Amino acid sequence: MVFPKFSVVAVAALLGLGTLTVFAQDAFVAPATPEEALTLRKGLMREDGGILRQAGNLTGDPAVAAMTKLRDNYKHIPDLFPEGSIVGDSEALPAIWENWDAFIAIADAGVAAAESGITAAQAGDAAAYAAALQTIGGTCGQCHQQFRS
Ligand code: HEC
C-alpha cells in the first residue's frame, strides 16, 4: 500500500490528534434501532478507512492512538450488526447472520492485529507495526467480499 506523504502536522490534524485524549477515549453507545446501527457502522467504517490511509506514516503516540481507535472500532462490530438491520441503503448481506461466527472471527482477527499494532508502536517496532496495519487492511477486504453487497 502506498501512503501519501503528509507532513507530521498535517497527519496529526487529519487524525484529530490535536485532541488526543478525546480521540483515545471510546464513548461508544450501542445502537438502539436498526437505523441507528446502520448510521453508526457506516460512520465507524469510514473512520477506519481514514485512519488506515494515514496510519502508515505515524510513529509513537499518534501511532498508538490510531491503533487503539481501530481496535475499539473493531470491538464494536458485533454491536453494530444487530439481526434485522438491513434497512435503508444498507449493503449488508443476510450471510452475516447465517455465518455469524465467521463474520465475528474476521472482526476478532482485526482486534488481535490492532493489539499487536499497539504493542509494536509502543516498542517503536516499525516492521511489526506495518505488519499489523497490513493484517487489519486485509480484514476489511476479507469481510466486504463475503458480507457486503
Ligand atoms: C467483520 C466485517 C467487516 C470488517 C472487518 C470491515 N467491514 Fe466495512 N463493512 C462491512 C459491511 C457488512 C458493510 C456494509 C454495511 C451496511 O451498508 O449496512 C461495510 C461497509 C463499509 C463502508 C461503506 C460505508 C458507507 O458509508 O456506506 C466502508 C467505507 C467500509 N466498510 C470500510 C471498512 C474498512 C476501511 C475496514 C477495515 C479497516 C472495514 N470496513 C472492515 C463489514 C466489514
Q: Where are the domains of the chain?
A: 8-147
Q: Which amino acid is at 5?
A: K
Regarding the beta carbon of 139 and ligand 1, being less than 6 Å apart is answered yes
| Span 67-107, pLDDT tens digits | 999 999 999 999 999 999 999 999 999 999 999 999 999 99
Terminal C-alpha separation, the chain? 24
Give the pLDDT confidence of 113-130 residue by residue, as tens digits: 999 999 999 999 999 999
pLDDT-wise least confident of 2-11, 70-79, 95-104, 138-147: 2-11
Using a 10 angstrom Cβ sphere, with 0-12 exposed, 13-18 middle and 19 or more buried, the burial of residue 101 is exposed
Candidate of 39, 41, 45 to mutate for ligand 1, largest count of ligand atoms within 8 Å of Cβ: 45
Residue 9 has pLDDT above 70, yes or no: no
- Which pLDDT band, with edges at 50, 70 and 90, does 22 fall under? very low
Q: How many angstroms separate the alpha carbon of residue 140 from the centre of ligand 1?
A: 7
Cell numbers at residue 73, please? 472500532
Secondary structure in 3-state letters for 92-128: ECCHHHHCHHHHHHHHHHHHHHHHHHHHHHHHCCHHH
Q: Which atom of ligand 1 is nearest to the CA of 42?
A: 24
Ligand 1 center to residue 70 CA distance, Å? 13
What DSSP character marks residue 32? Answer: S
CA 115 / ligand 1 centre spacing (Å): 20
**What's residue 28's pLDDT?**
86
**CA-to-CA distance for 54 and 141, rounded, in angstroms?**
18
Ligand 1 centroid – CA 144 distance (Å): 6
Mean pLDDT of the chain, nearest integer: 88
Q: Does the CB atom of residue 26 touch ligand 1 within 6 A? A: no
For residues 21 and 31, give the distance between their C-alpha atoms in angstroms, rounded to a whole number.
Answer: 24
Distance 149 CA to ligand 1 centre (A): 10
CATH superfamily, domain at 8-147: Cytochrome c/b562 (1.20.120.10)
